[in-house]
Amino acid sequence: MLRHLGGLSLLAWSSALAVVTGRMALRDLVSQMVVIGVQSVPLVSVIAAASGIVSSQQGGYQLTTALPLYILGAAVTSGIVLELAPLMTAIGLIGRVGARITAELGTMKVSEQIDALHALGRDPVVVLTAPRILAGLLATPLLVLWADAVGLGAGMISASLAANVTRETFLFGARLNWHTWDLFYGLIKGATFGFMIPLISSYMGLLTSGGAEGVGRSTTTAVVTMIMAVFLSDAVFPPLLLN
């Protein structure tokens, strides 16, 4: 575990140097921003809408006559902004982006394309890793913002249909318990997850060996590792940033 943590740290440091020194090509960053950000919008939209709908339906089911209806708006807003939007966006990116990066770099490794880059005097970290990590770091908070908007909109519509909560009542509850820090908290989560996912997937891809079977093994290991890392870091956030 310590060896892998050291390898991840060295890869992150080399990628940061590539960005700071300007060796990374801007076109590579833009290309990865499109792949990680723009092309993930449909998936994130579906996940966020489902999260908002389920939150409203379960909250409406649990409401009793002893509780005012605006509580549903407060609960759904807090749940989506603080937890569901960043966490579910990260899970979606693990399946769509993380697995893809590991498979791509793993295939390049076993087919000796990484060795060819070294032979041509090009650093694979500059060409392959740094653009993906920076793109994930920049694009994921934007995706979380989009997930917030879609989730809250879907939750408000679902609350109106399932619990007879009007839009005004829902928004009143959302504003009543709103804290501006909650939004920044979710964005910090998104940036952290957006950094971890391409870093771990790139690291596992560059370690791949053993042909096609090795690519599959590396991809599976990377997905499991990313899920564990996201959930463990998600558990650390509240005591660090919400107390």
Domain that holds residue 75: 2-241
Q: What is the pLDDT of residues 46-96, one digit of tens each?
A: 999 999 999 888 887 777 566 788 888 888 999 999 999 999 999 999 999
Per-residue pLDDT, 177: 82
Give the C-alpha distances (Å, rounded to integers) separating 2 from 74, 76, 233.
Answer: 43, 40, 17
212 confidence band (pLDDT: 50, 70, 90): confident
215 confidence band (pLDDT: 50, 70, 90): very high
Q: What is the pLDDT of residues 120-164, one digit of tens each?
A: 888 899 999 999 999 999 999 999 999 999 999 999 999 888 888
Whether the pLDDT of residue 190 is over 60: the answer is yes
Mean pLDDT confidence for 161-182:
88
Whether the pLDDT of residue 118 is over 90: the answer is no
Domains in the chain: how many in total?
Answer: 1
Q: What does pTM read for this prediction?
A: 0.92
Residue 102: CB partners within 8 Å, gap ≥ 6?
201, 202, 204, 205, 208, 218, 219, 222, 223
Mean pLDDT for all residues in the chain? 92
Q: Is 63 left (phi over 0), alpha (psi -120 to 50) or beta?
A: beta
Mean pLDDT confidence for 167-176:
90
- Asked if residues 56 and 162 have their Cβ atoms less than 8 Å apart, the reply is yes
Mean pLDDT confidence for 173-197:
93
Mean pLDDT confidence for 173-181:
88
